[in-house]
Structure 1
Amino acid sequence: MAHEDIEIDTDALQRRMDGAMNALKVEFSSLRTGRASASLLDAIQVDAYGQMTPVNQLGTVNVPEPRMVVINVWDKGMIGKVEKAIRESGIGINPVTDGPLIRLPIPELNEERRRELSKVAAQYAESAKVAIRNVRRDGMDQIKKAKGMGEDDQKMWSEEVQELTDKAIAAVDKALESKQAEIMQV
């Protein structure tokens, strides 16, 4: 086995790969499918009280029906700003203000928009894979630079880092496949 003094921190590499996967999940949750979801608003920030604040910290977000998201904005003075942030976010939904409530009717996705969103999901997945490969490269560099590590140990650590990479890439592929199926579902 490996010398006591030569350890490659595979846990740190795993954490960084998991971080890429978590970032991908956040990006995926911001992609709109045909269904209403409170996570649709997660990435939208509003200039509130002099700082950028997520919509879900300015009101209660509910999904009363499959094609409707409703935001009950707590501070009436913020309604216009929340509405403007949603309009400018690029999620393609037109907010309707009704007193303290902002209703977001979720339109059906047409075929072209589904394909577009599917491509965006693929780009997000590719970015996650690049991040994972960068972590792999860092791990391989650590192995190369480890002084006094024998060839067998180098081979063992390299295989372990490669295995972590393969698992992480497979997880990204699986997440992408599932997200694309969700997007294309009518």
Structure 2
Amino acid sequence: MFLAVINQWNTSFKSERFYSKGKEKGDKKKKGPVSINESEIEELVNVSRLKEDLQRGLDQLKSDYMKHLSLRSASGSIENLQVDFEGETFTLQEIAQIGRKGSQLIVVNLSGFPTVMKDVLKAINDSGMGLNPQQDGTTIFIPVPKVTKEYRESLAKNAKTLFQKFKDHSRDIQNKYIREVKKKEKEVSSDQAHSVQQQIHSMAELYVSEGEKVMIDKQNELLGKD
């Protein structure tokens, strides 16, 4: 359904537009709808690339939620945890031996790749899984949290943290393309340049709104709400 909305932007999507000070000076309440006109935007930036960049961020948020924020995430997805090391990305199972002692302890052996220890610890701490890794030499011990109310609340909080990361990423993409427009301001009228900038903002806001819905659904799932 979301993709269908995206495809209809040329003709139907409307969002709030903040008019330039010259047009609305002294009247902050006057805001009108702005139609997303991809043909107009395309004159200044690559619309397809803009949408792909925004969609990639949303897809990453959904992937992070699915892989790392479930009540079984600690024991079920640690193998596929992504670790960045010297400009490359590896899954944890590619660089470590992963075992378990009972149902409450995961053991990660990095004796074959000790130089990546710092990066593995960072990946675990930043994963949003609510884990507390403990290092002992080239081994990392990861207690698997019991599913308590506090643990559920911790994961729900992490869901908001990951959403904020996605939101900031979307803002960065928005600003990147707005900078492209500003570089071409002398090639078009000031009204068109302003209009395109506002449309780019509206596009980014649509993806952020969709990401917020995904976050709320995930939080409700983690907290056991309907």
- Equivalent in the alignment of 1:177: 216
| Distance change >3 Å, CA 6–CA 53, structure 1 → 2 | closer
After the TM superposition, which parts of structure 1 deviate over 4 Å for at least 4 consecutive aligned residues?
A: 35-41, 52-55, 88-92
- Equivalent in the alignment of 1:14: 51
Using the size of structure 1 for normalisation, the TM-score is 0.63
- Equivalent in the alignment of 2:166: 128
How far the C-alpha of 1:35 sits from its partner, in A, is: 5.2
Listed one character per residue, the Cα deviations across residues 77-135 of structure 1 (whole Å, up to 9, x for unaligned) are x9xx221694346756xxxxxxxxxxxxx976111001111111111100000000011
| Distance change >3 Å, CA 44–CA 134, structure 1 → 2 | closer
Q: Where in structure 1 are there 5+ consecutive unaligned residues?
A: 46-51, 58-77, 93-105
Work out which structure has the larger RCO, using CA pairs closer than 8 Å and 6 or more positions apart in sequence: 1
Listed one character per residue, the Cα deviations across residues 45-64 of structure 1 (whole Å, up to 9, x for unaligned) are 7xxxxxx5554x8xxxxxxx
For 2:221 and 2:79, locate their aligned partners in 1 and report how far apart those are by CA, in whole Å.
18
| Distance change >3 Å, CA 32–CA 132, structure 1 → 2 | closer
Q: What amino acid does structure 2 have at the position aligned with 1:156?
A: S
Q: What amino acid does structure 2 have at the position aligned with 1:174?
A: K
- Equivalent in the alignment of 1:83: 99
- Equivalent in the alignment of 2:136: none
| Distance change >3 Å, CA 141–CA 44, structure 1 → 2 | closer
- Equivalent in the alignment of 1:111: 149
Q: Where in structure 2 are there 5+ consecutive unaligned residues?
A: 1-36, 84-89, 109-123, 132-143
Contact residue 170 and residue 208 of structure 2 kept, 8 A: yes
Q: What amino acid does structure 1 have at the position aligned with 2:99?
A: E
| Distance change >3 Å, CA 120–CA 87, structure 1 → 2 | farther
- Equivalent in the alignment of 2:23: none
For 2:194 and 2:82, locate their aligned partners in 1 and report how far apart those are by CA, in whole Å.
46
**Identical-pair percentage:** 17
How far the C-alpha of 1:28 sits from its partner, in A, is: 1.1
Contact residue 79 and residue 98 of structure 2 kept, 8 A: no
- Equivalent in the alignment of 1:75: none
Q: What amino acid does structure 1 have at the position aligned with 2:224?
A: Q
Corresponding residue pairs, total:
146
List aligned pairs for 1:27-106, cutoff 5 A: 27-34=64-71, 41-43=79-81, 53=91, 55=93, 81-83=97-99, 86-88=106-108
SS of structure 1 residue aligned to 2:187: coil
- Equivalent in the alignment of 1:25: 62
Q: CA RMSD for the aligned pairs?
A: 3.5
- Equivalent in the alignment of 1:161: 200
SS of structure 1 residue aligned to 2:99: helix
Using the size of structure 2 for normalisation, the TM-score is 0.53
How far the C-alpha of 1:6 sits from its partner, in A, is: 3.9
